[in-house]
């Protein structure tokens, strides 16, 4: 990991390391947003994960409607 002259980890490296540990399904969605801080990356991933939950719930509702019909 790169460090500056004060031996401090660069913010970009912290964000990149965080993103590398994400689920493969969401990495590209977070990467495209080009987060400048870790807080911003965390906010984006929370929004993405919530969107995935909503999508999955909708799929379940449609699947139940198909079973009933």
Per-residue pLDDT reduced to its tens digit, 51-60: 888 888 877 7
For residues 14 and 33, what is the distance between their CA atoms, to the nearest angstrom?
16
Residues 6+ apart with CB under 8 A from 29: 44, 48
Flag whether 4 is in a domain: no
Flag whether 37 is in a domain: yes
* Residue 36 contacts residue 11 (beta carbons within 8 Å): yes
Work out how many domains the chain is built from and give that number.
1
Please measure the distance between the N-terminal and C-terminal CA atoms of the chain and give it in whole angstroms: 56
The range of the structural domain enclosing residue 57 comes to 11-68
**Considering the entire predicted model, what is its pTM?**
0.54
Flag whether 6 is in a domain: no
pLDDT of residue 5: 62
H or E element in which residue 40 lies: helix 38-68
Which residues of the chain have a pLDDT value below 70? 1-9, 62, 69
């Amino acid at each position: 990991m790169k460090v500056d002259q004060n031996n401090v980890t660069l913010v970009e490296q912290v964000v990149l390391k965080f993103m590398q540990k994400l689920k493969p399904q969401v990495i590209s969605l977070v990467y495209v947003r080009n987060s400048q801080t870790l807080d911003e990356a965390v906010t984006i991933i929370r929004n993405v994960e919530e969107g995935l939950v909503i999508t999955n719930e909708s799929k379940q509702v449609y699947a139940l409607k198909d079973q009933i019909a």
